[in-house]
């Protein structure tokens, strides 16, 4: 490798993070070889070479524990190419204070779970303004106020105009810790009796309540959310009645007593949407006896539970491929002759593998040798399948590209390993560099170019590869999603840190299909002095 993985990852700057995807009308040579064009120094020739592209079956499973879920996913979507996909979410619940004192004769009035989805911030609708609203506070009692509700459409993938029924159930399996590894198809028991539900119309709302006298803010939910009412009797028995009991004494006891929540949808078709797990809220509103100067009142107060950072979070994904094009696709994953169609789907669905066959490597070496040519750029070009393009679903805008390789000098010389491509490791921060570029996404033949210039040069031109690097690239792996930044946002966190576990997109591409002029190919620009 180029120095060490640790050193090269820190060199991957935010230039890459900001230029993962570039939209272009026409292809262009990448920066690595552009100097060969300067002052007419070289004549560029573009030629297509054959590759072997195939589907990688991930068994519809992916790691979805808290370390992987920057965003959660809810919903269900069913279409003819990939079949049905359904996403549920599990979270631990913790107390904000342990051994809480709820006061004398505490009685729960209501409990609400708030989910904060991704939304279109530029599409706000002010759908209610109540100038005669009455708000009750513990200090002042009933207060004349104004209530404003703003509504925003949630960002969705699928059949966006449908409604979904969001359900909340109590988890019955101990979820362990936030650092434990969990797969998306792991099974967790839950109580079939719902704690609450809500028909979700696809919109999230923000609420602002201000006092008529002086305009003081009384209540603000500035981030749009989905508010789901929960069973107050459950919390009266589960929480209030356990005051001073061991179940509420510490976190260890509590997460074994109240194991968590499962949020799901009732339907099997509609859409998928993302939300922030760490921003979820659960608030219990209750009254208690308060005696002052011989007078007893029943003020209302609230108690907030902790659902965010530090809790176990788990994405559960279900698939039903029967009857779909992917389910009926035979001979999937042919690494010898390739697959005619490439199905790629995040959240555990299939990936794309692209292998450069020996015949192509030999042919390229001959070009370099016979014409004394130098490789200026190399791109794996993949066209969207026409049938998928006709569906009008949003095209993917995020991909990851990894190099899969073996190191003959290692203690396990046959083990296939993964890392960033050497293009990313070498060119990160170079103006104009991107992992891939997209073309004509709104036209008849959309396609993507994945930049592999340095990788191909190292296969063809021995002098391009450091003498210390004994590795051999076996194939490239393409997934939906993007590489995630590190905690301070200055570089990439590593090749294993991606958004694939919660990316809701999918697409079908033309694969290795000898009779198709738009089959996946390696586009190489080489020049001669």
Which one has a higher pLDDT value, 529 or 167? 167
| Mean pLDDT, rounded, for 477-482 | 98
Between 414 and 64, name the one with better pLDDT: 64
468: Cβ contacts below 8 Å, ≥ 6 apart: none
Please say whether the beta carbons of 183 and 61 come within 8 A: yes
For 171-186, what is each residue's pLDDT tens digit? Answer: 999 998 999 999 999 9
* 198 to 75, 84, 405: CA distances (angstroms): 13, 22, 49
pLDDT at 486: 87
SS3 label, residue 366: helix
On the question of pLDDT at 242 being above 50, the answer is yes
- Can you tell me the distance from the alpha carbon of 401 to that of 495, in angstroms, rounded to the nearest whole number? 9
Which ranges in 74-114 belong to alpha helices (H)?
A: none
Q: At what angle do helices 358-370 and 453-460 cross, to 10 degrees?
A: 80
Instruction: Say if residue 21's pLDDT is above 60.
Output: no
Identify the DSSP state of 133: E
102 against 291, higher pLDDT: 102
Q: What pLDDT is stored for residue 3 in this prediction?
A: 39
Q: What is the pLDDT of residue 487?
A: 84
Q: 128, 148 in Cβ contact below 8 A?
A: yes
User: Could you tell me how many helices (H) and strands (E) the chain has, helices first?
Assistant: 9, 30
Cβ atoms of 306 and 290 within 8 Å: the answer is no
Token pair listed for 360: 């192509």
Q: Is residue 37's pLDDT more than 60?
A: no
Q: What is the 3-state secondary structure (H, E, C) of 250-317?
A: CHHHHHHHCCCEEEEECCCCCEEEEECHHHCEEEEEEEEEEEECCEEECCEEEEEEECCCCCCEEEEE
Extract the tokens encoding 491. 């570089």
pLDDT (0 to 100) of residue 281: 97
Query: Residue 104's CB: how many other CB atoms inside 10 A?
Result: 10
**Residue 9 clears pLDDT 50, i.e. is over it:** no
pLDDT in tens, 412-452: 989 999 999 999 998 877 888 899 999 999 999 999 999 99
Q: Which of 401, 528, 375 is nearest to 464 (CA)?
A: 375
For the ranges 129-133, 241-245, 256-260, 262-266, which has the lowest average pLDDT? 129-133
How would residue 6 be classed by pLDDT, with cut points 50, 70 and 90?
A: very low
Listing from the earlier edge strand, what are the strands of the sheet with 373-383?
21-24, 436-439, 447-451, 373-383, 521-528, 43-50
Residue pair 346/479 in contact (Cβ under 8 Å)? The answer is yes
Distance CA 141, CA 284 (A): 19
Asked if residue 104 has pLDDT above 90, the reply is: yes
Q: Share the mean pLDDT of the chain.
A: 89
User: Residue range 495-509: average pLDDT?
Assistant: 97
Residue 94 has pLDDT above 70, yes or no: yes
Helices of type H across 450-528 = 453-460
At residue 331 the predicted structure's pLDDT band, cuts being 50, 70 and 90, is: confident
Closest CA to 382 of 500, 502, 507, 527: 507
Residue position matching structure tokens 């990448």: 30
Q: Is the pLDDT of residue 15 over 80?
A: no
Distance CA(96)–CA(302), nearest Å, equals: 12
The Cα–Cα gap between 433 and 440 comes to 19
Identify the sign of the CA torsion 293, 296, 297, 303: positive
Are residues 154 and 273 in contact, defined by beta-carbon separation less than 8 angstroms?
A: yes
C-beta of residue 473 within 8 angstroms of C-beta of residue 405:
yes
Element (DSSP H or E) covering residue 224:
strand 217-230
Among 44-48, 156-160, 513-517, the range scoring the smallest mean pLDDT is 44-48
Per-residue pLDDT, 461:
83
State residue 529's pLDDT score: 62
Q: For residue 441, with 0-12 CB atoms within 10 Å meaning exposed, 13-18 middle and 19 or more buried, which class applies?
A: middle
Q: Position of tokens 């008529």?
A: 212
Instruction: Kindly write down the DSSP assignment for every residue of 379-398, as one continuous string.
Output: EEEEEBPHHHHTT-PPPP--
Q: What integer pLDDT is reported at residue 41 of this predicted model?
A: 43
pLDDT value of position 138? 60
């Amino acid at each position: 490798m180029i120095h060490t993985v640790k050193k090269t990852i820190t060199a991957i700057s935010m230039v890459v993070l900001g230029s993962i995807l570039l939209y272009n009308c026409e292809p262009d040579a990448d920066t690595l070889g552009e100097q060969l064009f300067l002052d007419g120094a070289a004549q560029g020739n573009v030629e297509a070479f054959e590759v072997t592209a195939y589907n990688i079956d991930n068994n519809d499973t992916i790691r979805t524990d808290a370390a992987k879920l920057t965003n959660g996913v809810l919903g269900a979507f069913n279409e003819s190419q990939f079949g049905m996909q359904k996403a549920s979410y599990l979270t631990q619940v913790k107390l904000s204070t342990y051994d809480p004192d709820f006061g004398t004769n505490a009685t729960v009035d209501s409990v609400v779970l708030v989910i904060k989805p991704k939304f279109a911030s530029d599409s706000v609708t002010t759908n209610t303004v109540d100038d005669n609203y009455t708000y009750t506070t513990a200090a002042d009692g009933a207060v004349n106020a104004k209530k404003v509700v703003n509504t925003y459409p949630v960002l969705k993938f699928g059949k966006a105009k449908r409604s979904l029924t969001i359900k909340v159930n109590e988890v019955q399996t101990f979820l362990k810790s936030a650092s434990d590894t969990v797969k998306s198809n792991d099974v967790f028991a839950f109580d079939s009796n719902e704690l609450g539900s809500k028909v979700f119309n696809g919109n999230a709302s923000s609420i602002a309540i201000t006092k008529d006298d002086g305009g003081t803010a009384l209540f603000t939910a500035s981030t749009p959310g989905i508010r789901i009412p929960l069973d107050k009797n459950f919390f009266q028995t589960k929480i209030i009645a356990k005051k001073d009991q061991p179940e509420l004494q510490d976190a260890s006891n509590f997460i074994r007593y109240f194991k968590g929540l499962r949020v799901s949808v009732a339907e099997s078709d509609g859409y998928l949407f993302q939300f922030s797990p760490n921003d979820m809220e659960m608030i219990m509103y209750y009254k208690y006896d308060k005696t002052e100067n011989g007078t007893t009142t029943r003020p209302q107060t609230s108690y907030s539970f902790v659902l965010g950072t530090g809790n176990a979070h788990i994405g559960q994904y279900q698939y039903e491929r029967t009857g779909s094009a992917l389910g009926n696709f035979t001979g999937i994953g042919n690494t010898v002759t390739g697959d005619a169609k490439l199905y790629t789907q995040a959240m555990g669905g299939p990936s794309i593998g692209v292998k450069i066959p020996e015949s192509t490597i030999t042919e390229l070496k001959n070009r370099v040798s016979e014409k004394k040519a130098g490789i200026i750029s190399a791109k794996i070009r993949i066209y969207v399948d026409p049938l998928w393009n006709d569906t009008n679903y949003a095209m993917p805008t995020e991909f990851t590209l990894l190099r899969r390789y073996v190191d003959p000098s290692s203690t396990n010389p046959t083990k296939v390993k993964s890392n960033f491509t050497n293009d990313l490791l070498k060119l990160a921060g170079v103006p104009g560099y991107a992992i891939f570029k997209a073309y004509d996404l709104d036209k008849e033949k959309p396609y993507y170019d994945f930049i592999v210039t340095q990788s191909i040069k190292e296969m063809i031109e021995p002098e391009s590869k450091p003498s210390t690097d004994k590795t051999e690239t076996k194939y490239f792996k393409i997934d939906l999603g993007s590489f995630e930044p590190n905690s301070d946002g200055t570089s990439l966190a590593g090749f294993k840190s991606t958004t694939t576990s919660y990316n809701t997109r999918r697409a079908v591409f033309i694969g290795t299909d000898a009779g198709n002029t738009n089959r996946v190919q390696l586009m190489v620009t080489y020049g001669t002095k």
